[in-house]
Amino acid sequence: MESSLKCDLLNVYYDDHPVLFDVSFEIPKGKLVAIIGPNGAGKSTLLKSIVGTIKPLSGTVECFSLPFHKAKKKIAYVPQKESIDWEFPITVLEVVLMGRYHQLGLFKWVRKCDKEAAIEALKLLEIESLANRQIGELSGGQQQRVFIARALVQQADLYLLDEPFAAVDAATEALLIDIFKKLKEKGKTLVIVHHDLYSVESIFDWVILLNNRLIGCGEKEKWFTPEKISQTYGKKEEIFSDVISQLKKTKSGLSL
The CATH number given to whatever domain includes residue 7 is 3.40.50.300
Question: If you average pLDDT over residues 103-125, what whole number do you get?
Answer: 83
Split into its structural domains, the chain has a count of 2
**Alpha-carbon distance values, 168 to 4, 11, 174, 209 (Å):** 28, 32, 10, 24
Q: CA 143 to CA 163: how far, in whole Å? A: 13
Same domain, 185 and 218: yes
Same domain, 57 and 102: yes
Q: CA 115 to CA 77: how far, in whole Å? A: 20
Same domain, 206 and 240: no
Same domain, 21 and 126: yes
| Per-residue pLDDT at 240 | 54
Q: CA 132 to CA 138: how far, in whole Å? A: 11
- Tell whether the model's pLDDT for residue 87 goes beyond 80: no
- Tell whether the model's pLDDT for residue 106 goes beyond 80: no
pTM above 0.75, yes or no: yes
Give yes or no for a contact between 158 and 64, defined as CB atoms under 8 angstroms apart: yes
Same domain, 47 and 68: yes
Same domain, 143 and 256: no
Amino acid identity of residue 225, one-letter, is T
Question: Domain range holding 235?
Answer: 225-256
Amino acid identity of residue 60, one-letter, is T
Q: Which of 16, 15, 23 is nearest to 47 (CA)?
A: 23
Task: Put the strands of the sheet holding 66-67 in their side by side order.
Answer: 17-28, 3-14, 58-63, 66-67
Q: Could you tell me the pLDDT band of residue 222, with boundaries at 50, 70 and 90? A: very high
Q: CA 193 to CA 162: how far, in whole Å? A: 5
Same domain, 230 and 213: no
Question: How many other CB atoms sit within 10 Å of the CB of residue 173?
Answer: 18
How do residues 36-79 score in pLDDT, each as one tens digit?
999 999 999 999 999 999 999 999 999 999 998 899 899 999 99
- Tell whether the model's pLDDT for residue 147 goes beyond 50: yes
Question: If you average pLDDT over residues 86-105, what whole number do you get?
Answer: 83
Same domain, 216 and 116: yes
Same domain, 21 and 73: yes
Q: Which range among 6-15, 222-231, 235-244 shows the weakest confidence by mean pLDDT? A: 235-244
Same domain, 79 and 197: yes
- Tell whether the model's pLDDT for residue 136 goes beyond 80: yes
Q: Which range among 75-79, 162-166, 237-241 shows the weakest confidence by mean pLDDT? A: 237-241
Same domain, 124 and 237: no
| Per-residue pLDDT at 80 | 86
Phi-psi region of 219 (alpha: psi -120 to 50; beta: other; left: phi over 0): beta
Q: Could you tell me the pLDDT band of residue 127, with boundaries at 50, 70 and 90? A: very high
Question: If you average pLDDT over residues 122-128, what whole number do you get?
Answer: 95
Question: If you average pLDDT over residues 214-234, what whole number do you get?
Answer: 93
Q: CA 104 to CA 247: how far, in whole Å? A: 48
Question: If you average pLDDT over residues 15-36, what whole number do you get?
Answer: 94
Q: CA 229 to CA 38: how far, in whole Å? A: 10
| Per-residue pLDDT at 253 | 45
Q: Which of 173, 3, 136 is nearest to 74 (CA)?
A: 3
| Per-residue pLDDT at 255 | 35
Same domain, 190 and 252: no
Task: Put the strands of the sheet holding 213-219 in their side by side order.
Answer: 75-78, 158-162, 189-193, 32-36, 206-211, 213-219
